[in-house]
Amino acid sequence: KKAQAWSALFSEPMSELVKRYTASVDFDKRLWQADIEGSLAHAAMLQAQGIIGEQDLADIRRGMAQIRAEIEAGTFEWKLDLEDVHLNIEARLTQLVGDAGKRLHTGRSRNDQVATDVRLWLRGEIDQLQPLLAAMQRALVSVAEKNVDTILPGFTHMQVAQPVSFAHHMLAYVEMFARDAERLADLRKRVNRLPLGSAALAGTSYPLDREMVAQLLGFEAVTQNSLDAVSDRDFAIEFTAFAAIAMMHVSRLAEEIVLWMSQNFAFIDLADRYCTGSSIMPQKRNPDVAELARGKTGRVYGHLTALLTLMKGQPLTYNKDNQEDKEPLFDAVDTLRDTLRIMAEMVEGILVKPEAMESAARRGYATATDLADYLVKKGLPFRDAHEVVAHAVKVGLQRGVDLSELPLEVLQQFHAAIGEDVYEVLTLRGSLQARQVLGGTAPVQVRAQIEWHKQRLA
């Protein structure tokens, strides 16, 4: 009896500790569907090329159908002794169909097999993430639609800067998630290439038809260098970089939600179903979901760093280090998926408090730039106008009033060109209306943006 699953060379069984340390089945069994799919395509190609017989292929198909059913029913026995998902499925296949099962691995190595499985699996996940990114954008657009005329103090340096439409602010996030979707679609092309046929590292002497396998599995292309194909994990790193960027966007939004919900802003409220209470302070309603989304961003950054670090010291070609690619990648997918789902739902249910936003904009001299622009239209150079308005703001601050509350005689002391028409300019709405430039916050621009996004996301 062999001491090991794969070779008579070994004279003693692996130590228990080593077995547990090297096994990956506990987590890579998640790849089982991709593994079966990949094996079936490989087998069909082996038969088409006359490398295995028709009966072998039929047996492999029958065995795989049963394995699929067993895994789905939860009766498949995953064995740590068999190390990983690939050996577990292959061993069960051989148990079920005999020699045909042993012929499956012809012209193949676990090195090209695992690279294929991870790519297939990731492609499926990418295709489920795209609709979630779209749903996130739709949720933001739907909040925007209801708030074109809601005025928010726009901030720079966290100081009130200029009034903006709250819809415009929501659409800023739509832009970010649209770029994420673009990045994801682009990297999918590089995920969707077939390594199978590279075998252990050097290719194989069997006359494999790699194009056929690629076609069966829906890969856009086959990899061109066997050494690179078995050791490349760029595709996983690229995906995780995308996930880290998308999480960063979510996190910025989450941070704003937390701030806006604080009593000191009170710009929004969240429905109770997205809040949690405190076990000691009865008055509390906390935005835990947003805080967790912000917190989980760090863990996805961690996965990106883990994968980059995993690869940086690896000589060509496959090294067992690569087995460590799975948990970070899986968790990056899971974290992003769950976060997008819950945040989209929560954003859609944001309760906007327009009066609070507007009075904050008023308190912060948000129309000071508009007064300067007004003076420019009356002939002053912008730098002089800037200085004039600084004096006006100073007086406003001393008196504790907004610029629009300063009497005309007072305003005229700063510059004689100021007339009665200045008060239109000093309103928040007038300020918004004036910003008609493409990409600006004027309601007409914002409405056009909303229409464009709605069409694009329909």
Residues engaged in binding ligand ARG (CB under 6 A): 24, 28, 84, 110-111, 114, 320, 322-323
Alpha-carbon Rg for the chain in angstroms: 31
Q: Residues 157, 205, 391, 415: which is the catalytic one?
A: 157
Look up 278 and say whether it is catalytic: yes
Q: Based on CB atoms, which residue is closest to ligand ARG, 199 or 389?
A: 199
Q: Based on CB atoms, which residue is closest to ligand ARG, 114 or 329?
A: 114
Q: Based on CB atoms, which residue is closest to ligand ARG, 111 or 162?
A: 111
Distance CA 232, CA 236 (A): 9
DSSP string, 97-157: HTHHHHHTTTT--HHHHHHHHHHHHHHHHHHHHHHHHHHHHHHHHHHHHTTTT-EEEEEET
Q: How far is the CB of 137 from ligand ARG (least distance, A)?
A: 35
Token pair, residue 409, equals 């005689």
Q: How far is the CB of 320 from ligand ARG (least distance, A)?
A: 6
Q: How far is the CB of 199 from ligand ARG (least distance, A)?
A: 11
* One-letter amino acid of 89: I
Q: Which residues share a beta bridge with 159?
A: 156
Q: Based on CB atoms, which residue is closest to ligand ARG, 148 or 199?
A: 199
Q: How far is the CB of 201 from ligand ARG (least distance, A)?
A: 10
Residue 417 backbone phi and psi in degrees, to 5: -70, -10
Give Dmax (Cα) for the chain.
104
Q: In 10 A of CB 383, how many CB atoms?
A: 9
Q: How far is the CB of 220 from ligand ARG (least distance, A)?
A: 23
CB 63 within 8 A of CB 93: yes
Burial state string for 125-145 with b = 16 or more CB within 10 A and e = fewer than 16 = bbeebeebbbbbbbbbbebbb
Look up 431 and say whether it is catalytic: no
Q: Based on CB atoms, which residue is closest to ligand ARG, 195 or 287?
A: 195
Q: State the alpha helices, DSSP H only, in 192-322.
A: 210-217, 226-231, 234-261, 288-312
Q: Residues 278, 279, 303, 453: which is the catalytic one?
A: 278
Q: Which residues are catalytic?
A: 157, 278
